[in-house]
């Protein structure tokens, strides 16, 4: 069936809203509902509508793919695939994915070597594992249905996941059959299940970025290791004649110690024996550290930082263009032959129903008005390009009555008004800061001023209204701080020993003082912005930790214990003795045996200690002395891996901060950053027409919503109502402003490529064209 049917006079008469632009954005809805009864109309067109629904859904999927940076070749190709796609793309499914992945990861707490309290029988944990794996199989089969076999095979990550799944399955069955755990280093691969989760998109991006930064990293690392080797040989030649020097007696020792020296961990001990013999030998170490630590290491950071910057920009560019393409695809599905130059409200509304099911009718209309900049009844492609920027706005009626208490009786209103003015005044601000400062001194003499904050909090909440109060990041911060302080007070009052430490958190209130200075505000704003990315980077690091923890447990569980490493150079740190020398008791407490790989939690702590780097060689040497020289490989690899991740983290913080500062400098004159705000006016007539439309379409819920708004307008006797759309500024918005000029070039280049591609497409296309339409594309393509 062809689309023209849908645009038949019968349908038009009841479905299409025609909007004519009058001056000033004031729309008249010319609603030509002439004769047919609404109910009659609804039933008659269900078939045409069904086809349109397919288009809406597909367009919504395109837009989602654009937003999530999903490649279009995974776009569902037919109705069956679409069903599977819809099944696999909702939060319930995502949650299932996440839970199974977490379950699999957490199993390592209970598998031997387990955390003592959580040990489970082999039957139990193997069965749990099998169960989780079966769930993963189910997830993958849904994915296969959606992607189709060919795309499935071509999707690398999924293939790796399938392979790991297969291995894990076999191993779990083997464990069940043999009823004993064998060496299962492959458990380290379980991470892939977490990484593949929908919710871990940020982790995947981080990993990609890490891999992209690797080539320059490896280059500089080679330079670093090259110098290490040269100095290693030189050091061996120079210091091996000194027999009291245990650090350079063999070439291997020499190299290992210079590697450790890269981390400064054994300095100055490594220098001391030779320095004691000849003071000038310090030159060797000074030169080595100057070259390696202070120069090449910084160069490493510089190179990674530079690559990182470059990648960030490229990523931004490709995402921007990807979104643009997604919008083009969606646009093609939403225009009709009658209106090839734009999308009518009806179709945008249909799209939004799928793209944002929870958006209310009013907001859909506001989105349409916000998109429509040309004041015609249609949203052109140029307007539609702003889709992502506009659809994120949260709309709120701009109240003529500014304050939440405007509707209260006169006396109450005056009181609250006074509080409102007080709270917003500069004097109040500074008075509060003075209180904070005084409090800072106060705390030191251990007195409590907390009530003042309680009162401030109460005042602010009443003066601004609870929602407005908490919607400001800074007020929220105040709130948290005061809450903590209150908890501290309670703890003190009821003398709850275990929570005593909360009392000590009270000085955190002093952080308020930092608000005073612009630089701190910048820094703290940057921290707020960075937080999500930092969290995902932290998660990425944890995934690496997990892999290394599993490997460490498999190889090193139980190898270190008190008094274990007496043959090594670090025996002292592991010595745990209570012996009597002469007439006094000598207690030697070497705690390093605690840094072991006996279970997952211990391994994580040990790995954190290795990350911090200081004295890591004690742990390495301890383990090495109990196992083999090859164990060093594990520790050195771990060092290099954390170095990569840490360098990326530093580069990331640098980039984010420098970007923000540059942005601030570029837009110095602009107003305080309140996020993005858009204002739209809706007239009562428009509302009425909209209600009529929904009535015809039998959408009773929407009708009720809209009638409520009309009732409100009636109550205040307003001819129109102002709505504010608001959302916080994202990095993407900043980037768009920063790269303003370049973006135009990118677009032009992109559209040139597009044109070229379209000319190619005009030729008979191959059968597995990923952009093959679901339902009605053929038509819409001919329209463009």
Subset of residues 226 to 285 that bind its own copies, contact rule: CB under 8 A: 226, 229-230, 233-234, 237-238, 244, 264-269, 272-273, 275-276, 279, 282
Closest approach, Cβ 323 to its own copies, in A, equals 25
Closest approach, Cβ 200 to its own copies, in A, equals 21
**Residue found under tokens 């063999």:** 250
Positions 543 through 582 that interact with its own copies (CB under 8 A): 581
By CB under 8 A, residue 476 contacts its own copies: no
Only one of the segments 9-17, 359-367, 505-513, 721-729 lies at the binding site for its own copies (rule: CB under 8 A); that segment is: 505-513
Cβ proximity to its own copies: between 352 and 620 the closer is 620
Member of 47, 298, 318, 778 binding its own copies (CB under 8 A): 298
Residues 6+ apart with CB under 8 A from 124: 110
Closest approach, Cβ 594 to its own copies, in A, equals 6
Member of 7, 18, 468, 609 binding its own copies (CB under 8 A): 609
Only one of the segments 37-45, 194-202, 347-355, 591-599 lies at the binding site for its own copies (rule: CB under 8 A); that segment is: 591-599
Closest approach, Cβ 439 to its own copies, in A, equals 14
Contact code string over 513-532 relative to its own copies, x by CB under 8 A:
-x--x-xx--x--xx-----
**Residue found under tokens 């645009």:** 7
Q: Alpha-carbon torsion 261, 265, 266, 269, what sign? A: positive
Cβ proximity to its own copies: between 282 and 408 the closer is 282
By CB under 8 A, residue 507 contacts its own copies: yes
Closest approach, Cβ 731 to its own copies, in A, equals 16
Q: Residue 399 CA to chain centroid, in angstroms?
A: 35
Cβ proximity to its own copies: between 42 and 650 the closer is 650
Cβ proximity to its own copies: between 306 and 468 the closer is 306
Cβ proximity to its own copies: between 123 and 608 the closer is 608
By CB under 8 A, residue 209 contacts its own copies: no
Member of 216, 392, 454, 465 binding its own copies (CB under 8 A): 216
Positions 431 through 460 that interact with its own copies (CB under 8 A): none
**Where does 335-409 have alpha helices with state H?**
345-355, 361-371, 381-384, 387-391
Closest approach, Cβ 190 to its own copies, in A, equals 23
Task: Let me know: does 771 contact 758? Beta carbons within 8 Å.
Answer: no
User: In terms of C-beta density within 10 A (0-12 exposed, 13-18 middle, 19 or more buried), how is residue 709 classed?
Assistant: buried
**d(Cα 338, Cα 341) in Å, to the nearest integer?**
9
Closest approach, Cβ 248 to its own copies, in A, equals 13
Member of 79, 299, 496, 677 binding its own copies (CB under 8 A): 299
By CB under 8 A, residue 487 contacts its own copies: no
Member of 59, 301, 550, 600 binding its own copies (CB under 8 A): 301
Q: What is the rounded radius of gyration, in angstroms, for the C-alpha atoms of the chain? A: 33
Report how far apart the first and last C-alpha atoms of the chain are (Å, whole number). Answer: 20
For residue 30, list its beta bridge partners.
18
Contact code string over 650-679 relative to its own copies, x by CB under 8 A:
x--xx-xxx--x---x--------------
Closest approach, Cβ 634 to its own copies, in A, equals 18
Member of 646, 699, 710, 724 binding its own copies (CB under 8 A): 646
Residues 6+ apart with CB under 8 A from 180: 122
Both tokens of 781, joined, read 């393509």
Closest approach, Cβ 501 to its own copies, in A, equals 6
By CB under 8 A, residue 319 contacts its own copies: no
∠ CA 138-143-148, nearest 5°, is 125
Residue 473's CB: how many other CB atoms inside 10 A?
A: 12
CA distances from 420 to 27, 416, 476, 479, 513 (A): 37, 6, 18, 18, 22
**d(Cα 419, Cα 456) in Å, to the nearest integer?**
11
Cβ proximity to its own copies: between 65 and 615 the closer is 615
By CB under 8 A, residue 599 contacts its own copies: no
Closest approach, Cβ 558 to its own copies, in A, equals 17
Only one of the segments 7-15, 191-199, 394-402, 608-616 lies at the binding site for its own copies (rule: CB under 8 A); that segment is: 608-616
Task: Let me know: does 286 contact 261? Beta carbons within 8 Å.
Answer: no
By CB under 8 A, residue 288 contacts its own copies: no
Cβ proximity to its own copies: between 1 and 612 the closer is 612
Positions 722 through 751 that interact with its own copies (CB under 8 A): none
| DSSP-based three-state secondary structure for 578 | strand
By CB under 8 A, residue 594 contacts its own copies: yes
Task: Let me know: does 360 contact 705? Beta carbons within 8 Å.
Answer: yes
**d(Cα 41, Cα 233) in Å, to the nearest integer?**
90
By CB under 8 A, residue 38 contacts its own copies: no
User: In terms of C-beta density within 10 A (0-12 exposed, 13-18 middle, 19 or more buried), how is residue 178 classed?
Assistant: exposed
Residues 6+ apart with CB under 8 A from 33: 13, 14, 692, 696
| DSSP-based three-state secondary structure for 453 | helix
CA distances from 52 to 7, 144, 354, 461 (A): 11, 27, 12, 48
By CB under 8 A, residue 302 contacts its own copies: yes
Cβ proximity to its own copies: between 395 and 659 the closer is 659
Cβ proximity to its own copies: between 202 and 650 the closer is 650
**d(Cα 651, Cα 303) in Å, to the nearest integer?**
10
Residues contacting its own copies: total by CB under 8 A: 80
By CB under 8 A, residue 387 contacts its own copies: no
**d(Cα 22, Cα 681) in Å, to the nearest integer?**
13
Only one of the segments 43-51, 83-91, 305-313, 361-369 lies at the binding site for its own copies (rule: CB under 8 A); that segment is: 305-313
For the chain, what is the largest distance between any 2 Cα atoms, rounded to a whole number of angstroms?
114
∠ CA 653-658-663, nearest 5°, is 130
User: Which H/E stretch holds residue 27?
Assistant: strand 27-30
Closest approach, Cβ 299 to its own copies, in A, equals 6
Closest approach, Cβ 108 to its own copies, in A, equals 17
Cβ proximity to its own copies: between 299 and 496 the closer is 299
Closest approach, Cβ 596 to its own copies, in A, equals 12
By CB under 8 A, residue 311 contacts its own copies: no
**d(Cα 386, Cα 331) in Å, to the nearest integer?**
12
Both tokens of 641, joined, read 């891996």
By CB under 8 A, residue 413 contacts its own copies: no
By CB under 8 A, residue 583 contacts its own copies: no
| DSSP-based three-state secondary structure for 372 | coil
Only one of the segments 322-330, 372-380, 502-510, 715-723 lies at the binding site for its own copies (rule: CB under 8 A); that segment is: 502-510
Q: Alpha-carbon torsion 214, 220, 224, 225, what sign? A: positive
**d(Cα 234, Cα 216) in Å, to the nearest integer?**
27
Cβ proximity to its own copies: between 145 and 512 the closer is 512
Residues 6+ apart with CB under 8 A from 246: 253, 273, 569
User: In terms of C-beta density within 10 A (0-12 exposed, 13-18 middle, 19 or more buried), how is residue 323 classed?
Assistant: buried
Cβ proximity to its own copies: between 301 and 774 the closer is 301
Closest approach, Cβ 714 to its own copies, in A, equals 55
Cβ proximity to its own copies: between 103 and 653 the closer is 653
By CB under 8 A, residue 309 contacts its own copies: yes
Closest approach, Cβ 522 to its own copies, in A, equals 9
**d(Cα 473, Cα 688) in Å, to the nearest integer?**
38
């Amino acid at each position: 069936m062809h689309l023209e049917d849908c645009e038949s006079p019968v349908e038009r008469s009841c479905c299409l809203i025609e909007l004519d632009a009058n001056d000033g954005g004031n729309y008249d809805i010319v609603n030509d509902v002439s004769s047919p009864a609404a109910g009659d109309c609804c039933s008659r067109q269900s078939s045409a509508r069904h086809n349109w629904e397919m288009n809406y859904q597909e367009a919504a999927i395109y837009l989602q793919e654009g937003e999530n940076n999903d490649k279009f070749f995974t776009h569902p190709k037919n109705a069956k695939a679409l069903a599977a796609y819809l099944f696999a793309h909702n939060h319930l499914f995502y949650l299932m994915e996440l839970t199974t992945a977490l379950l699999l990861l957490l199993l390592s707490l209970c598998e031997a070597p387990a955390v003592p309290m959580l040990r489970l029988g082999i039957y139990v944990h193997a069965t749990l594992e099998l169960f989780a794996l079966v769930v993963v199989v189910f997830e993958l089969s849904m994915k296969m249905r959606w992607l189709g076999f060919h795309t499935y095979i071509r999707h690398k990550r999924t293939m790796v996941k399938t392979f790991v799944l297969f291995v894990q399955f076999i191993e779990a069955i083997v464990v069940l059959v043999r009823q004993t755990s064998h060496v299962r280093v492959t458990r380290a691969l379980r991470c892939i299940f977490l990484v593949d989760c929908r919710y871990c998109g940020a982790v995947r991006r981080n990993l990609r970025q890490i891999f992209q930064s690797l080539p320059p990293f490896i280059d500089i690392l080679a330079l670093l290791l090259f110098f290490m080797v040269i100095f290693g040989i030189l050091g061996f030649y120079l210091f091996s004649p000194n027999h009291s020097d245990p650090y350079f007696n063999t070439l291997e020792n020499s190299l290992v110690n210079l590697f450790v020296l890269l981390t400064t961990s054994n300095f100055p001990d490594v220098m001391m024996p030779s320095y004691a013999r000849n003071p000038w030998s310090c030159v060797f170490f000074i030169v080595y550290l100057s070259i390696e630590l202070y120069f090449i290491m910084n160069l490493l950071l510089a190179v990674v930082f530079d690559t990182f910057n470059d990648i960030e920009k490229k990523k931004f560019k490709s995402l921007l263009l990807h979104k643009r393409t997604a919008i083009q695809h969606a646009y093609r599905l939403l225009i009709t032959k009658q209106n090839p130059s734009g999308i009518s409200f009806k179709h945008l509304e249909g799209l939004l129903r799928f793209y944002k099911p929870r958006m209310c009718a009013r907001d859909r209309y506001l989105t349409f008005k916000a998109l429509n900049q040309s004041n015609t009844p249609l949203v052109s492609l140029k307007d539609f390009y702003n889709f992502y920027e506009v659809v994120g706005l949260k709309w709120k009626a701009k109240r003529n009555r500014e304050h939440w208490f405007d509707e209260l009786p006169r006396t109450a209103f005056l009181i609250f008004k006074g509080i409102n003015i007080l709270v917003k005044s500069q004097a109040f601000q500074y008075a509060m800061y003075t209180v904070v400062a005084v409090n800072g001194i106060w705390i030191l003499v251990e007195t409590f001023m907390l009530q003042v904050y309680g009162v401030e909090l109460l005042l602010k909440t009443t003066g601004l209204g609870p929602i407005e109060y908490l919607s400001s990041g800074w007020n929220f911060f105040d709130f948290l701080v005061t809450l903590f302080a209150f908890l501290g007070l309670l703890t003190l009052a009821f003398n709850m020993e275990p929570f005593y430490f909360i009392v000590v958190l009270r000085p955190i209130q002093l952080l308020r003082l930092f608000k005073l200075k612009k630089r701190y505000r910048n820094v703290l704003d940057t921290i707020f912005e960075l937080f999500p990315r930092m969290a995902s980077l932290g998660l990425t690091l944890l995934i690496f930790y997990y892999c290394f923890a599993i490997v460490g447990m498999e190889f090193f569980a139980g190898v270190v214990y008190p008094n274990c490493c007496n043959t090594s150079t670090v025996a002292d740190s592991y010595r745990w003795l209570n012996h009597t020398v002469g007439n006094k008791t000598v207690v030697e407490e070497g705690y390093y045996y605690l840094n072991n790989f006996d279970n997952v939690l211990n391994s994580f702590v040990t790995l954190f200690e290795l990350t911090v780097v200081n004295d890591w060689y004690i742990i390495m040497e301890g383990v090495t002395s109990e196992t083999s020289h090859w164990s060093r490989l594990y520790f050195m690899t771990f060092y290099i891996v954390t170095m990569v991740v840490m360098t990326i983290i530093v580069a990331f913080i640098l980039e984010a901060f420098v970007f923000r500062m540059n942005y601030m400098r570029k837009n110095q004159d602009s107003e305080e950053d309140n996020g993005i705000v858009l204002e739209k006016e809706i007239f009562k007539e428009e509302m009425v027409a909209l209600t009529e439309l929904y009535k015809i379409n039998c959408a009773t819920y929407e009708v009720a919503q809209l009638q409520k708004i009309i009732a409100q307008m009636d109550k205040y006797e307003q001819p129109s109502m102002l709505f504010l759309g608001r959302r916080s500024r994202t990095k993407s918005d900043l980037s768009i402003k920063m790269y303003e000029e370049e973006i135009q070039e990118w677009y032009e280049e992109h559209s040139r490529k597009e044109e070229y591609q379209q000319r190619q497409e005009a030729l008979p296309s191959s059968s597995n064209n990923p952009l093959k339409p679901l339902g009605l594309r053929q038509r819409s393509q001919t329209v463009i």
